[in-house]
Amino acid sequence: MITSTSLEMYRQRLEALAERFGRKLSDLRHESAHGLGGESGGGISNVPTHQADLGSAHHEEEVGLLLVENEEQLLVECEGALARIHAGTFGICESCSKEIPAGRLETFPYARYCVDCASRLEPQTGS
């Protein structure tokens, strides 16, 4: 059973995580908007001219997009957990309605599922 003290601790932790993920997301978006090359990259143009440079640029762009997507998902999960705290359903598995163990919430305070349900749903949800 989650006490009001531990619930407040989770709320504070989730707010801090959401703030951190939001800042990181903003930084990643800012970085990806600058592109590669140009004067900061040592060239005159923002367009890579060598095929290897094009491949590297494409790879870095893909990695950047994946990082943005990951941070967005983590931010959404934190916001969802904060909404569950407000609704009084925090710490209850969304699949089986059993209590999520404290150890799991310590590791993943935004967890929506108990370990059994998460492992069963993992191929479907990726979480």
pTM (predicted TM-score): 0.72
pLDDT in tens, 7-27: 999 999 999 999 999 999 888
Domain ranges, ordered by start, for the chain: 4-90, 92-127
Q: Which amino acid is at 22?
A: G
Does 71 score more than 60 pLDDT?
yes
Mean pLDDT of 63-67: 78
Residue 52 has a pLDDT of 67
What band does 84 get if pLDDT is binned at 50, 70 and 90? very high
Residue 17 has a pLDDT of 95
pLDDT in tens, 35-58: 554 444 445 555 556 666 666 666
Distance, in Å, from the CA atom of 114 to the CA atom of 106, rounded to the nearest integer, reads: 13
